[in-house]
Chains A and B, each alone.
Chain A
Amino acid sequence: MEVTFKDVSLSYDGSREILHHLNFTIPEGTLVSILGPSGCGKSTTLMMISGLLAPTSGQIFFGDEDVTKQDALQRKVGMVFQNYALYPHLNVLDNIMFPLKMAKVPKPERKKKAIELAKLVHIEDQLDKKPGSLSGGQQQRVAIARALAKEPSLLLLDEPLSNLDARLRIEMRQEIRRIQQETGVTTIFVTHDQDEALHISDHIMVLNSGQIQQFSSAETLYDNPSNLFVAQFIGEPVINTLDIADFGDELKGQIDTELLKRTQKVGIRPEALQDHDTGAETLATITTKVKTFEKFGREKNALLDFNGKRLLTTEIEAEIAEGQELPLYLQKSGFYLFDQDGTRIFGGDQDA
């Protein structure tokens, strides 16, 4: 089901606005991640989609239908809560069966379905336990099974994997992706883990302090961040951020002077600092001093000093010694300029 927000704002107490004028459309059948730091309003957004929370202003549409006034019972979405919210008095099987019971599905069918789902999320050996005696990760999986039980046309997942270990997490996220693609259920997946968002979703909505920063594919987020926040939030290791004042004459002549005048911050991805000349790809050259150089596994991180600021690069091929001078070649892709509002004014596909 397609979900559309039209100018939706929300305030819990009537004075402090948490979400400001959200406008977006989540296409039918896609998996969209909402990514953002803690407290930015991700759960609040989900609660408004589910109907547990009414927007202070604006409209919500499911397809063409205006559901703003409908409550959670009428909207019939599936949801995994951030705190699981399993019924403490029911065992795992009964928890999974509960939505089916409410839908008046006959008991044998209910049970069969619930056991199938339990197998899917690998908790079929815990069916008789109460949620209180399950680990956090097991509870999360029960919650996922419960949300899937009623085969909703819209599935909302609020950090459903946050409590799982690294391996199970990858397994479960592939499972969620598989189920989503098999059933075609429109899924909204909240996470603050960019890796998870990048791997699982068709589109990512980056949210910060109640505003949508960017809503696009993972690749676009990385290659064409619309502002400094997105550039800093997406990417591991984190993008190098410098003030324009840190540069001397290195950028002069390479970039339009008008643009340079408006520039406040400079963003350079760690892989955009090469130790050799790449010809046409090279934008400028800077001189740096090596502070530390670390190698573990496939990772090579060199920490450099540039006019008193720290730079990180992952692209050093040659053996280098600490303290030595090192010329670095700034690459065109992965180099961005941001104005005083943080908006990107140079870099990305537009300047490739």
Chain B
Amino acid sequence: MLNEKPTLKSTGKALLYLLPMLVITITFNIYPIIKSFIMSFYTKYDFFRDIVSQYGFDNFKFLFSDPDFHIAVKNTLIFVVGVVPLTVIISLAVALLLNRITWLSGLFRTVYFLPFVTSTVAIAQVWHWIYNSDYGLLNYFLGFFGVNAISWLESPRYAMLALIIMSVWKNLGFNIVLFLVGLNNINERYYQAAKIDGANSWHQFTNVTVPLLSPITFLVSVNGVIGSFKVFDEIFALFNGTPGPSKSALTIVYYLYQKFYTEWKYGIAAASGVVLFFMILLVTMFQLWYSKRHVHY
């Protein structure tokens, strides 16, 4: 029943249904999260015997004074701010175009979706060639406009830009598909009503398409923000296992990876993870708050 009051019995029944999933979630999601939270407070830790002799805030103090971590936070923020808006705008624009053309639209959809089903390593290999300073396609094209060859992957100035361009491109496929679904769900009758009410194409876009698409835009941007904060494999693959020239593409997760796997500083790695967690939480909460006022379901 739709308006049934929860009782002890119905709650117990619901729990029973949820049990299998709960067991899996608790073991593989909840427990590690709690564990890594606790780990970020380990200050003296014997890894081999799993003995913690002291807890404290030393890991966080270290992070706040570590210039590498500062770089990582800054780069992460630049990456998020660069990737998310571009992804939203470009994929919306492409989706609008694809929605208009009927000719070969199936082919175009497939083409745009390909990056999503291709492995990041393979994509990075392709972009490696595109970015190649001597033979790369990108410099070749820029040459037409009189731009001198840029060493995209070797110069600290351009490495972040190269990373952002590749990531946006990789994100497009899936987000275009999401936007296409959203566009298809907008009933033609709203456009008809808008035309009758005197709305030209632009006003139809701003008064019908944008508001009615806002749930998808919200989904795409939240998804994009979370994914971008966690960026790692693109960097690893594009810069051959380094955080870019002179740490120009060092992000928080890359920092975490270095601390954990190469320096074996588990406490610091966990602490940086906790900082990342709160950054994502903060931004997502802001997005949620914003969506309450501007997203129309």
Asked if B196 is at the interface (CB within 8 A of a chain A CB), the reply is: yes
Determine whether the beta carbon of A150 is less than 8 Å from that of B197. yes
Asked if A146 is at the interface (CB within 8 A of a chain B CB), the reply is: yes
Determine whether the beta carbon of B196 is less than 8 Å from that of A88. no
Centre residue among A88, A89, A147 by max chain B CB count within 10 A: A89
Which residue of chain B is the closest to A73 with respect to CB atoms? B195
Contact (A87, B192) CB under 8 Å given A102-B203, A146-B197: no
Per DSSP, chain A at the interface is: loop
Contact (A52, B192) CB under 8 Å given A89-B296, A98-B207: yes
- Which residues of A sit under 8 angstroms from B203, Cβ to Cβ? 102
Q: Write out, one digit per residue, whether chain B residues 200-221 have a CB within 8 A of any chain A CB (1) or not (0).
A: 1001000110011010000000
Which residue of chain B is the closest to A47 with respect to CB atoms? B192
Determine whether the beta carbon of B211 is less than 8 Å from that of A102. no
Q: Write out, one digit per residue, whether chain B residues 175-208 have a CB within 8 A of any chain A CB (1) or not (0).
A: 0000000000001011011111111100100011
Contact (A85, B296) CB under 8 Å given A73-B198, A103-B198: no
Determine whether the beta carbon of A79 is less than 8 Å from that of B196. yes
Q: In the bound complex, what is the Cα–Cα distance between A71 and B194 (angstroms)? A: 13
A278 to chain B, nearest CB (A): 53
B interface vs A, CB < 8 Å?
Answer: 187, 189-190, 192-200, 203, 207-208, 211-212, 214, 296
Checking A71, A73, A79, A87 against B208 with a beta-carbon cut-off of 8 angstroms, the contacting residue is A87
Asked if A29 is at the interface (CB within 8 A of a chain B CB), the reply is: no
- Which residues of A sit under 8 angstroms from B198, Cβ to Cβ? 73, 76, 99, 102-103, 150
Determine whether the beta carbon of B197 is less than 8 Å from that of A99. yes
Per DSSP, chain B at the interface is: helix
- Which residues of A sit under 8 angstroms from B197, Cβ to Cβ? 98-99, 102, 146, 150
- Which residues of A sit under 8 angstroms from B211, Cβ to Cβ? 87, 89
Determine whether the beta carbon of A85 is less than 8 Å from that of B207. no
Checking A78, A85, A146 against B190 with a beta-carbon cut-off of 8 angstroms, the contacting residue is A85
Which residue of chain A is the closest to B295 with respect to CB atoms? A89
- Which residues of B sit under 8 angstroms from A83, Cβ to Cβ? 189
B124 to chain A, nearest CB (A): 41
Contact (A78, B196) CB under 8 Å given A89-B212, A89-B296, A102-B203: yes
Within 8 A of B (CB), among A73-109: 73, 76-79, 81, 83, 85-89, 98-99, 102-103
Which residue of chain A is the closest to B195 with respect to CB atoms? A72
> Besides A102-B198, A150-B198, 9 other CB < 8 A contacts?
A52-B192, A52-B196, A73-B195, A81-B193, A85-B192, A87-B194, A87-B211, A103-B198, A150-B197
Which residue of chain A is the closest to B203 with respect to CB atoms? A102
Asked if A201 is at the interface (CB within 8 A of a chain B CB), the reply is: no
Asked if A139 is at the interface (CB within 8 A of a chain B CB), the reply is: no
